[in-house]
Amino acid sequence: MTTEPVVFVVDDDPDVCESLSLLLKSVGLKTQTFANAHSFLDGYPPERAGCLVVDVRMPGMSGLELQQTLIQQDICLPVIVITAHGDVPMAIRAMKAGAIDFIEKPYSSQTLLEQVHKALTKDAEARRVQSQRKAVAARLALLTSREYEVLERAVAGQYNKVIAAELGISLPTVEARRKRIMEKLQAKSFADLVRILASHKANKGKP
Amino acid sequence: MNWNFLSLRHLLRSEVGAIYLGLVALSAGLVLTLWTWRLAVDYELSQQLADLNHDATQIAVAVTERLAQYQTVERSGQALFVVSPSVQREQWRVYVKNLQVKENFPGLVGLAFISYVPHQELTRFLARSQADGAPDFVIHPGGRRDAYCIIQYIEPAAGNDNALGFDSCTLPASRRAMEQARDTGRPILTDWVQLSQQPDNRSAVVLYAPVYHAGAPVQTVEERRAALRGWIGARIRIDILMQGVIPKGSTVDLDIFAGNKASLNTLLYNHDGKLDTLNGHLESVAEHSNRLLFPTTIEFGGQIWMLRFSRQISSPYGETALVVISGTLISLLLFVVLWSLGRTKAKAQALAEKMTAALRDSENAIRTLYEVTTTDHRSTEAKIQSLLTMGCQRFGLDTGILSHVEGQRYEVVAVVSPDGEIGKGNVYELADTYCEFTLKNNAPLCLEKVWGTALQHHPGHARFGLQAYLGTTVMVRGQPYGTLNFYSRHPRSAPFTLLDREILQLMVQWIGGVIEREQMEEEARQHQAMLTHATRLNTMGEMASGLAHELNQPLTCIVNFAEACTNMLRAGRAEREESLAILEKISAQSQRAGKIIHRMRRFIRKGEVQRAVVEITAIIDEIREFIAIEARRYAITIHYQLKPDLPPLLVDRIQIQQVILNLIRNAMEAIRGQDGVREITIQASCYTDTLAEIAIRDTGPGLSTEIASRILDPFFTTKTNGLGLGLTISQSIVETHGGSLWVSSHTGPGATFHFTLPIAEAVYHDN
């Protein structure tokens, strides 16, 4: 998280690469350029924060194909698609695949830079959420299955008495388990516990 | 000879020839008739001659018989003197009377006894005679002679009065006959004798038979002379003799001549009895010229008589007139038949020749028409001009016009006029021309002479003075286009023939076809130009995204560089060198953008075909960028295999670039979806000495035979939204340049499209 984010630029036109790189540098961003998608895939370190600015029309793998490839490889790098000639289907396809923006050349540098910053912010946020989720998951993993049963019912708002009856255990056992759950999950209050579990469930299924 | 033969044949074929032939037949018929008639006449004459011959023979026999009877009478006289040597006058009279001479022997006019009396016995004789019942008996003519031949008795006395006592020796004819009779012992006839007592009877002769003394030997001439006592003389009138011999009613005339020669001197008997006048004789002889003659001779009493029978030739013409009339009629009939046959034949011949001439005429006209219209190297305009000239000659009219009529507007499209008064492009009112009627007519309008007809007040005549006119409507695509018309200010003597109208129709059909073809060609040209342009625009449209991308690239770069520079300058971090480098980059990118726009404009330009001498590499270099853009888009590798030192071409570069781009785009479409090798190779090489070849080869799936066979057809496409005209137009462009376009290697990987283009040098060399 401490490493400086990098704007990766993939365009077959070296002039475009050079000029874009110069522009980004001029606003203090670090850039790395690639002449085509394959060389990017080969040289990109997934842990590296940043964003991707990619041209749609390129020999070999196109920008949209590269976007798909990244999704398949579970690389959640924000993508800004730029194109000299875009059309609506192409834009829809890019946006559906999670692109930050679809920008037509020639663009105003302001727009591009805004989107680049937006992408970098999103990437940073995403990386932060991902690390939190990983921490919650790790704490949840500490719970025993009996404790998890109790947690689910407690979060659902059932009284301890009801929980005890349902699970066929005694009320003091329920209370003891709730205490251990609070400790394991490092929850300061019941509300905190509910938020952690909701957040976890919301992110469930995401990579 | 051959010429003569031909001219004879020609003559016989003509109508005059028919008359000649008829006349020849008529002459031949008449000659034949004449000949037949002559034969008939000859036959008739020979018949008459035969009749005469028959009659004459009968008469001659009768004459001979009668003469023989006279001889018999004499012989009986002789016998009398033998029996009774001293016959008395009375006895003689009785004897003769008993003979009944007149009844039994017509012509015998007197039977005399002539005594031979030597001079010394004369006195005694006289005495004896006077004593014998003739007292006045005298001897005459008088005079002394050695011997006398005295007619002692003659009976019947009537008619012989002067004869008694006549000395017959004084007549030379009698004397000769008597001497001959004496010497021969046979009856001898005299020549004609002039009997004194019968002055008119030159036709009298005397037959003398000698009387010898009874018992005297008469074996020799001397004994006979010595034994002579006298003669029995029978006087014969030939005319009387003949009265009994020639049958009554006979048309035979008989002349008798003494001797065998016919002459006036020897004429004994004339059928007319006109012996007394010389004229009569002449006449009778002259008459012989138109008489049939049959001479024959009889011999009697030592004399030869010629009996010349004659008969008036009865005209044979009456008998033969039928021959002449029928012969002449047949000949005339033959003449008429031959003449009319000949006339009919000559007419048929003339008709046939006329038709042949008409056929030849039409053949010539059509050949001329064909020659005029099929001379390939001439322009259509020149052909129409020739056609108009030919029409003027053919129809005998001064001016020929091909007009285009729209509404009331009559425009001269092509014209042949003697003084050039009508010019091409002249415009008239339709109502001023006869063509207004022509256009309403299906058939050609023919006017030989307008003056005096209902049309004479029409402007065509009243203002322009057009007399003769021949015109018809030119139809183009089933619609009236205008007229083809010929006219003249002079009236035409002969009417226009069917052939004239047919030739006009042929001309019109040809012209209509030509105009139609030109219109269609023009439309096709326009269509082609539109299509070419449309395709170019389409091609352009297809490439627009690529072009936009291409143009946006430098623009993007410019924006980036400019913003970067601005940012650096604002931040105060900009180094001078760095800023300058960025500005130079901006400048370079601007130029890049400008070039792209320039090329694009050149490509889009819809221009006329402009052929120029251009290097093939220059053509391809100008579109390399476009190709590269497309190739990048589909990740296609382009290989150029341009043979160095290729001679320059004579082409319209834009069109050829369009063809190349079209073929490359096709190739790209064929391979862009495939996973394998995506390569396109562009080759240029020499095909022949005069043609260069450009080939576009791809690594696609190739073409099936079925598609390959149809791929050049218009509107054939394998694309979902293609027009199917790209290859067709490419092909027509190549062919317009004199090259050809084809596809090869249909099977197996890849297809190759080839086309050829003319090498400039070869074109110039040719020209």
Cis peptide before B758 (omega within 30 of 0): no
Contact B139, B167 (CB under 8 A): yes
Nearest chain A residue to B561, by CA:
A19
* Contact assignment for A26 to B545 by CB distance below 8 Å: no
| pLDDT tens track for B154-213 | 888 777 777 888 888 888 888 888 888 888 888 888 876 655 555 455 567 888 889 888
Q: What average pLDDT score do residues B117-131 get?
A: 86
Of A23, A82, A83, the CB nearest to B564: A23
Taking alpha carbons only, the member of B202, B204, B220 closest to residue B212 is: B220
**Confidence grade of residue B1 (pLDDT, cut at 50, 70, 90):** very low
* pLDDT (0 to 100) of residue B277: 44
- Bigger pLDDT: B261 or B469? B469
Q: What's the DSSP call for residue B724?
A: S
Q: Give the pLDDT confidence score for residue B43 in this predicted structure.
A: 87
Strands laid side by side in the B147-155 sheet: B147-155, B108-118, B228-237, B204-212, B188-189
> Chain B interface, mutation test: which of A65, A109, A112, most B Cβ atoms within 10 Å?
A109
pLDDT at B386: 87
Mean per-residue pLDDT pooled into runs of 10, chain A (207 residues): 80 89 90 91 86 85 88 88 78 85 84 91 88 83 85 85 88 88 84 80 58
Contact B548 A84 (CB under 8 A): yes
Q: How far is CA B699 from the centre of its chain?
A: 82
Give the whole-angstrom CA distance, residue B317 versus residue B320. Answer: 5
Strand partners, B305: B258, B298
**CB neighbour list of residue B374: distance below 8 Å, 6 or more residues apart:** none
Cβ-Cβ contacts under 8 Å, A116 against chain B: none
CB of B351 closer than 8 Å to CB of B345: no
- Residue with the bigger pLDDT between B548 and B519: it is B519
Measure B592 CA to nearest chain A CA, in Å. Answer: 11
Cross-chain Cβ contact A59/B631 below 8 Å: yes
Q: Is the pLDDT of residue B607 over 60?
A: no
CB-based contact B585 A108, cutoff 8 Å: no
Among candidates A12, A107, A108 on the partner chain, residue whose Cβ is nearest the Cβ of B632: A12
Q: Which of A17, A19, A112 to mutate to test the interface with B (most CBs of B within 10 A)?
A: A19
pLDDT of residue B281: 47
Whether the CB of B186 is below 8 Å from some CB of chain A: the reply is: no
Question: Are A27 and B567 in contact (CB < 8 Å)?
Answer: yes
pLDDT at residue B119 above 80? yes
The region, left, alpha or beta by phi > 0 then psi within -120 to 50, assigned to residue A115 is alpha
Which residues of chain A approach chain B closer than 8 Å at the C-beta?
12-13, 15-16, 18-20, 22-23, 25-27, 57-60, 82-85, 104-109
pLDDT at B473: 92
Query: Prior bond to B141 cis, omega within 30?
Result: yes
Minimum-distance CB partner of A85 among B549, B560, B565: B549
Report the pLDDT value the prediction gives residue B279, as an integer from 0 to 100: 43
> Residue B606: pLDDT above 70?
no
CB contact under 8 A, A19 and B560: yes
Taking an 8 Å cut-off on Cβ atoms, the answer to whether B550 and A58 are in contact is: no
d(CA B130, CA B124): 10
Contacts of B545 in chain A (CB under 8 A): 85
The pLDDT tens digits for B320-350 are: 788 888 888 988 888 888 888 877 887 888 8
Q: pLDDT confidence of B280, banded at 50, 70, 90?
A: very low
Q: Which among B552, B568, B592 is the nearest to A84, CB-wise?
A: B552
Contacts of B571 in chain A (CB under 8 A): 26
A78-129 residue pLDDT tens: 999 988 766 778 888 888 888 888 888 888 888 889 999 999 999 888 888 8
CA distance A11 to chain B (A): 10
Residue of chain A with shortest Cα separation from B545: A85
- Name every chain A residue with its beta carbon within 8 A of the beta carbon of B552: 84-85, 104-106
> Of all residues in chain B, what percent carry a pLDDT higher than 90?
6
| Ordered strands of the A6-10 beta sheet | A30-34, A6-10, A50-55, A79-83, A101-104
Spatial contact of B434 and B469, defined as CB atoms under 8 Å apart: yes
Residues across chain B:
767
Nearest to B555 among A26, A106, A109 (CB): A106
Name which of B553, B561, B631 is nearest A84 (Cβ-Cβ): B553
The overall average pLDDT reported for chain B is 81
Q: Residue B722, SS3?
A: coil
- Using a CB-CB cut-off of 8 Å, the residues of chain B touching A82 are 556
Q: What is the pLDDT of residue B13?
A: 59
Q: Which of residues 542-571 of B touch A (CB under 8 A)?
A: 544-546, 548-568, 571
**Residue B712 CA: distances (Å) to CA of B468, B718, B726:** 56, 12, 9
> What mean pLDDT comes out for the span B237-259?
79
Residue B288 confidence (pLDDT): 55
Determine the Cα–Cα distance for residues B169 and B177; give it in Å rounded to an integer: 10
Q: What is the pLDDT of residues B104-116, one digit of tens each?
A: 888 888 888 888 8
CB–CB of A20 and B568 under 8 A?
Answer: no
Query: Burial of B396 by CB count in 10 Å (0-12 exposed, 13-18 middle, 19+ buried)?
Result: middle
Chain A with chain B: Cβ pairs closer than 8 A: 87
Is residue B14 scored above 70 in pLDDT? no
pLDDT digits (tens, 9 = 90+) for B349-380: 888 888 888 888 888 888 888 887 777 677 88
**A54 Cα to chain B: minimum distance (Å):** 13
User: Are B563 and A15 a contacting pair at CB < 8 A?
Assistant: no
Question: Radius of gyration over alpha carbons of chain A, in Å?
Answer: 23
What is the Cα gyration radius of chain B?
Answer: 72
Q: What is the mean pLDDT of residues B236-258?
A: 79
* Residue-wise burial string across B239-271, b where 16 or more C-beta atoms lie within 10 A, e elsewhere: bbbbeebbeeeeebbbbbbbeeebeeebbbbbb
**Is the CB of B555 less than 8 angstroms away from the CB of A16?**
no
Q: Are strands A6-10 and A50-55 parallel, antiparallel or unpaired?
A: parallel
CB B724 within 8 A of CB B714: yes
Q: State residue B286's pLDDT score.
A: 46
Does B632 contact A at CB distance below 8 Å?
Answer: yes
Instruction: Report DSSP state, residue B614.
Output: E
Chain A residues touching B554 at Cβ < 8 A: 15
What are B665-722's pLDDT values in tens digits?
888 888 877 877 888 999 999 888 889 999 999 888 877 777 777 777 666 666 655 5
Q: Is pLDDT above 90 for B640?
A: yes
- Encode burial over B505-541: b for 16+ CB neighbours within 10 A, e otherwise: ebbbebbbebbbeeeeeeeeeeebeebbeebbebbbe
CB contact under 8 A, A106 and B559: yes
Q: At what angle do helices B317-374 and B498-571 cross, to 10 degrees?
A: 0
Q: pLDDT band at B49, cuts 50/70/90?
A: confident
Interface probe for A, chosen from B560, B589, B632, B679 (most Cβ of A below 10 Å), is B560
Q: Which pLDDT score, from 0 to 100, does residue B298 have?
A: 86
Q: Do A84 and B550 make contact, defined as CB atoms within 8 angstroms? A: yes
In Å, how far is B632's CA from the nearest CA of chain A?
5
Name chain A contacts of B558, Cβ cutoff 8 Å.
19, 106
Alpha-carbon gap, residue A32 to B579, rounded angstroms: 21
Task: Tell me B246's DSSP state.
Answer: S
Residues of chain B positioned with their CB less than 8 A from the CB of A12: 632
| Cβ <8 Å between A109 and B549 | no
Check A107 against B559: CB less than 8 A apart: yes
Question: Are B549 and A57 a contacting pair at CB < 8 A?
Answer: yes
B64 touches chain A (CB under 8 A): no
Whole-model pTM?
Answer: 0.39
All residues of chain B having their beta carbon less than 8 Å from the beta carbon of residue A109 are 559-560, 562-564
Q: Is residue B746 scored above 60 in pLDDT?
A: no
